[in-house]
A and B are shown apart, each in its own frame.
Chain A
């Protein structure tokens, strides 16, 4: 299977370049290749995959977050890389502990990550260090909590009308 050998080559190249401990897992699931890497070196890994002539993943299709609630490092950030020349996709994934959800921003490498990293910060509370403008993007700027985390309750927020504004403290101030 070419995908499997390709994934193995990617994993080997990453290990050769960054050392054995950079790669946590390389998996092929439903025909989609995924490498889980050390979050501390995410930007250099992405830069390597972008600039190395063997890979050339020049296009970052999507960045999204995920909360794997029961399992240990709870938060996940996925980078969907795309090589438009060879029509090849690779998912680079990192897992972050919820107590210290910090990762370096890749806006310098891929400007498209700007809004998407802001959305992950907004929804999961992952702090992207070095992001030029890390603010909430979809939720109101004074919102408290990170609504896409699995332990954040669904619903329960009062709908604010003029008549019940005083009964919903903190909303009208």
Chain B
């Protein structure tokens, strides 16, 4: 090889790129590195075991569950520091909401956390209902509970499939997505949409569930526990999975509370804080269900807590379907809800209300309200400020993924890089919710 070529491609080790490429075995280079290290052992500042390496993971990386960038500082294989960098899918939804009338905000907020859209809509609708001071009819409350819990199952299926994928269990992904599809079929039945359904309306739900929905939903929630048993069997008898989850990613309950972490992550440490029990809303107090908690708060507990939540959700849905009250599915306050279709042909008043609602929207008395509900990831709070006009002055979502992400550093510190991926998966961040 010519000298010229050598100088052009020379690297700090003195081996040309072409030369390295030509050789299949790396032993010549390794030998050279070893020789160099032996020569300058005294002054080469740091051995690889003590040297800190900054590694950028993401924003486009399949294991980050979205467009999340993690600036990790590694010492060998050990994570010493981690800084999540977010904002890559910031779409200014909160700003857009200020330009829409109260109705038209619902589809926007649904697109924040795209895995739990029913919860976003529910938090927002409940906040506006609180400002308006209207009561939601019991049937609508039950329908909301049914759909929200179905959405919780959907979100947990999405989480389980992708997390198992991160752990190398590829077939779990397909099994989970099959069940998720059953949920989406039910959503399609009740609202015509599979995702971002805009089924919840201020004052109730858009329309009653169609005939056959109750039977199909009952069939689903009766077969779902068996499916979850199968998933648990598949995963719990997998030694690799257990070794990668048990005792990994622990963080004390006190620290999690300081960091504002809620939801399954907090419950995995043994704290039974769940807003459905603590401050029951939308008639959650009518149903008999338990709050699954973990013991030590490692990744295995987080996984078990979420699996157990699916059983409890099935229980809630079954009770709600069986006890579904008759009656209106939306409030009869004509200043808030559209009049029924048949009234439009005969009643002038209904026509006026319809026109006012569709063109201007409803006016909401001034005030500010923070409405927290329990989403699959923790406390989802919607803060709405009204200035008395037909558009909200401020809509803010307290996204649980956004707050929970702060705990990632404490969870993964001084653990292996490979475990960081598992911990991130068990944290279950949804980047649409984080960035909004």
Contact = CB atoms under 8 A, between A and B. Distances in A.
Nearest to A114: B406
Contacts of A66: 368, 383, 385, 393-394, 396
Given A66-B393, A112-B406, A154 B96 contact: yes
A29 B133 CA distance: 11
A15 interface: no
Contacts of B69: none
Interface stretch (B37-45, B192-200, B254-262): B254-262
A81 to B, nearest CB: 11
A30 B131 contact: yes
B92 interface: yes
Given A30-B367, A67-B394, A150-B98, A60 B87 contact: no
A94 B405 CA distance: 26
A58 B254 CA distance: 10
A160 interface: no
Interface residues of B, number: 40
Interface string A38-69: 00000000000000000000111110111110
Contacts of B406: 111-112, 114-115
Contact of B260 (A78, A89, A112, A138): A112
A88 to B, nearest CB: 10
Main secondary structure of the interface of B (DSSP, over half): mixed
Interface residues of A, number: 39
B86 to A, nearest CB: 7
Nearest to B368: A29
Contacts of B131: 30
Contacts of A123: 94
Interface string B60-92: 000000000000000000000000001100101
Contacts of A150: 98, 393
Contacts, number: 98
Given A87-B278, A154-B99, A115 B405 contact: yes
Given A66-B394, A111-B259, A61 B381 contact: yes
Interface string A113-134: 0111001000100000000000
Contact of A154 (B95, B278, B435): B95
B403 A29 contact: no
Interface in A146-173: 147-148, 150, 152, 154
Nearest to B83: A133
B130 to A, nearest CB: 5
A24 interface: no
B244 interface: no
Given A30-B130, A58-B257, A87-B279, A138 B405 contact: no
Nearest to B402: A115
8 contacts: A61-B370, A62-B383, A66-B368, A84-B278, A110-B258, A115-B406, A116-B403, A139-B87
Interface of B: 86-87, 90, 92, 94-96, 98-99, 130-131, 133, 257-261, 273, 278-279, 367-370, 372, 379, 381, 383, 385, 387, 393-394, 396, 398, 402-403, 405-406, 435-436
In order of increasing CB-CB distance, the 10 nearest A-B pairs are A112-B260, A62-B398, A138-B87, A138-B90, A64-B396, A66-B394, A30-B130, A111-B258, A29-B367, A112-B259
Given A119-B402, A150-B98, 7 more contacts: A30-B133, A30-B367, A61-B372, A65-B396, A87-B279, A115-B403, A138-B436
Interface of A: 29-32, 34, 58-62, 64-68, 78, 80, 84, 87, 89, 91, 110-112, 114-116, 119, 123, 136-140, 147-148, 150, 152, 154
